C-alpha cells in the first residue's frame, strides 16, 4: 500500500466518519488498513482538540513534561524511540 499524505488520510477518515459517525479507532483502522494506534492519531488530526488523549499518550506526555528525551521514554516504556516520536508529533 502506498504511503498516504496527512491530507489524503484526513480525507479518507472524514469520508468514513460521514458514513460511520460512531466508529472507533479500531474499526477505522481495520477499514482503512492501518493500526488502531495510527487510526487514533489520524482521528485526532481530523477532529483536532475534541479528541481526548489516550492513557498511553498521557503517560508519554508526563515523561516529556519531566524533560525526558524520546530515547529515554522509549527505554522506560520498552518501546522503540520512533514509536515515541510518532506519538509526540501528531
pTM check: above 0.85: no
d(CA 20, CA 90) in angstroms, rounded, equals 23
DSSP state of 57: H
pLDDT number for residue 58? 79
- Mind listing the pLDDT tens digit for each residue in 15-50? 888 898 888 778 887 887 777 777 777 777 776 655
Phi, psi of 40 (to 5 degrees): -65, -40
DSSP state of 69: -
CB 42 within 8 A of CB 23: no
Amino acid at each position: 500500500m502506498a504511503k498516504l499524505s496527512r491530507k489524503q488520510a484526513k480525507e479518507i477518515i472524514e469520508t468514513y466518519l460521514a458514513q460511520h459517525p460512531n466508529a472507533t479507532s479500531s474499526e477505522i483502522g481495520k477499514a482503512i488498513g492501518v493500526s488502531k494506534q495510527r487510526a487514533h492519531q489520524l482521528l485526532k488530526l481530523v477532529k483536532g482538540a475534541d479528541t481526548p488523549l489516550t492513557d498511553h499518550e498521557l503517560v508519554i506526555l508526563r515523561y516529556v513534561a519531566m524533560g525526558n528525551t524520546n530515547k529515554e521514554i522509549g527505554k522506560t516504556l520498552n518501546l522503540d524511540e520512533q514509536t515515541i516520536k510518532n506519538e509526540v508529533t501528531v
